[in-house]
C-alpha cells in the first residue's frame, strides 16, 4: 500500500480538533457552567419564578440531539461540551419542576 494511502488511513483514525469545534465546545461548556450557577441559585432559593418547562425540555432535547450529531462531524470538543450542557440542562429542568410541584402543593 502506498505511503500516502497509509497516512490517510491513520489520519482518519486519529482524533483531530479544529478551531470551530474547540470554540463551539467552549461555548457548550460555558453554557453548562452558567446553568450550574442557576442550579446553585435554585437550590439556595428553593423556589422558582418565571420557569417555562417547555423551554427546559427543548434545550435538553437539543443537547441530546447534539450528542448524536457531533460524532458524525468528528467534533469531539463540541461533543464533550455537549455532554456537560446536557447534564446541566436536565438537572436544572428536573430540579425546577420538582420545586414548581412543591410550590403548587403548598398553595393548594
In the chain, where the domains are located: 16-107
Q: Which fold has domain 16-107?
A: Monooxygenase (1.20.1280)
- Model-level pTM? 0.80
**pLDDT tens digit string along 52-108?**
889 999 999 999 999 999 999 999 999 999 999 999 999 999 999 999 988 888 887
Report angle CA 26, 69, 91 to the nearest 5 degrees.
60
Stretch 39-57: mean pLDDT: 91
E strand or H helix that includes residue 77: helix 76-107
Amino acid at each position: 500500500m502506498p505511503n500516502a494511502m497509509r497516512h490517510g488511513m491513520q489520519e482518519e483514525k486519529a482524533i483531530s480538533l479544529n478551531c470551530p469545534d474547540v470554540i463551539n465546545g467552549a461555548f457548550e461548556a460555558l453554557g453548562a457552567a452558567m446553568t450550574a450557577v442557576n442550579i446553585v441559585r435554585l437550590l439556595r432559593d428553593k423556589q422558582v419564578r418565571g420557569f417555562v418547562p417547555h423551554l427546559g425540555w427543548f434545550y435538553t432535547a437539543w443537547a441530546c440531539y447534539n450528542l448524536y450529531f457531533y460524532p458524525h462531524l468528528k467534533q469531539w470538543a463540541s461533543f464533550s461540551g455537549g455532554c456537560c450542557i446536557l447534564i446541566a440542562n436536565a438537572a436544572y429542568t428536573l430540579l425546577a419542576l420538582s420545586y414548581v410541584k412543591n410550590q403548587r402543593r403548598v398553595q393548594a
